[in-house]
Structure 1
């Protein structure tokens, strides 16, 4: 490695024919930052990055059964109570879809809500035991058998607790079971 002294360095002044100043007369560089202020001194090796705060996992990341029992059923019960439904019973069941044409289909997980003395019932079907999987809903009144299976919350990329709750509330409101027009 070749060491260069200030006399051997060609600067624009020496190239123009002027004599360069000796290195001893140059002012030394000073550090104006406070001691221990490594973040502003420009030394990347001494910068301390604060640790990132990790977000708690979303409730939707829980296992299916745990999410339904601990989060979805209480939230759904509360949302419907806020709409005036007083005698609601909501349960998670595993059964066949009770609609004509589905007799040979396998059992699936269903959130079943009953109120008004058992006269009104809705079922939210989770065919894959996964809230992100295929879902459907049916409504039945006066103890009859459901005749229509409807897709439930299908246009969303990510399914959340609030979306599942509001989907049921909106569907039951469309049925005119919660409020009248």
Structure 2
């Protein structure tokens, strides 16, 4: 009596017969866009959305390149800034980008009731790779530390 045997498939020969699947290339990260394009097209809208989630609808944000309006710093060259205000203009904040790069040095200042800010502080200094979500999160977190968004 002869036994019928089904040959077991050999994975090596089968894979050689099938064409290899092309690897999908990852689209470039939002953060890899040119600096001004990223801020204007991605960061500002995401920041407005985050403010809306906090219940603040009158947020006004602008992206501009100008000198830092603070005593002792007006001699510095102009730098890119995200300037924000809300609560009918009673609360203002600035995020400074002196190197025109979200992964390099950044600074923060804030002031209330129309007074010009008197101090500038480093912002996100421990982050090696800055993402859109982190940039928005740290902005909201910093303003919340002022107790401007919620009483904690």
CA distance in 1, matches of 2:143, 2:98: 21
CA distance in 2, matches of 1:79, 1:43: 52
What is the TM-score with the length of structure 2 in the denominator?
A: 0.89
Specify the alignment match of 1:55 in structure 2.
26
* 1:73 and 2:41 aligned: no
Specify the alignment match of 1:21 in structure 2.
none
CA distance in 1, matches of 2:69, 2:116: 7
CA distance in 2, matches of 1:159, 1:179: 25
Q: Which has the larger radius of gyration?
A: 1
Gaps of at least 5 residues in structure 2 are 1-5
Specify the alignment match of 1:147 in structure 2.
118
What is the TM-score with the length of structure 1 in the denominator?
A: 0.76
Query: 1:179 Cα shift?
Result: 0.6
Gaps of at least 5 residues in structure 1 are 1-30
Query: 1:32 Cα shift?
Result: 2.7
| Shift >3 Å, 4+ stretches | 41-48
Higher relative CO (CA 8 A, sep ≥ 6), structure 1 or 2?
A: 2
* 1:137 and 2:108 aligned: yes
* 1:168 and 2:127 aligned: no
- SS of the aligned residue for 1:80 comes to helix
